[in-house]
Amino acid sequence: MELITKSEWDPVLWERMEPVYHEGFPPHGRKPVRVIRNAVERGGGYLHAGVDEGEVAAMALTGRLEEIRALLIDYIAVAEAVRSQGMGRRFLDALKAWGQAQGLEGIVIEIECEENAVNRRRASFWEKNGFQLVRDYVHQYIWVPEPFQAMVYAFDSSAKLLQRDGASLFRQMGGFHARAYRVPKGERE
């Protein structure tokens, strides 16, 4: 699998990634394209595509959390046709290698933590791939009903990232979200 990473908006790449994004997230869970474009153009976001046999098999939208030297995986999805074949693990391994090459300490994600089979399966995927649940804090966004918790993956067992509390991790993620997803008034629909 080839990892393509763009720090500038690439409409041709997005057109290839978008079907995977739509397969991975229901309509109510997707951000509009203009908001994603803004995240990349103005918010320090990155588009990542995992290309296998010429097709986008996985996608992610990430951002740097500079203060804690971590990569935030904000959206990640694998094409339905290649799920349960190790593609998610290979794509995540490529993102880990990319983050480490950027000089970061690790990766931060947020997961829904309501107790149900889907959320347990998702948490299990992350745990199998070395992520640790930050159990001390449950975050409740005002615009979505589901509670969230942070998970972290450190590139080195001595990384300060492993000592962060959940509330501070969500403050960092919130800072990225505020920069990345705020669309200027003149560009809103």
Residue tagged 């990155």 (tokens): 46
- Token pair, residue 170, equals 């969500």
Average pLDDT over the chain, rounded to an integer: 89
The answer to whether 79 touches 57, Cβ cutoff 8 Å, is: yes
Identify the pLDDT of residue 86. Answer: 93
pTM of the predicted structure, to 2 decimals: 0.89
Maximum Cα interatomic distance, the chain, rounded to a whole number of Å: 46
**Phi and psi torsions of 109, nearest 5°:** -135, 165
Contacts of 59 (CB under 8 A, 6+ apart): 17, 20, 21, 24, 47, 48, 49, 50, 75, 76, 77
Where in the chain are the domains? Answer: 2-187
Provide block-wise average pLDDT over 10 residues at a time, the chain (189 residues).
96 97 90 90 91 97 91 95 94 98 95 86 93 84 80 85 80 82 60
Per CATH, the number for 2-187 is 3.40.630.30
In this prediction, residue 131 carries a pLDDT of 95
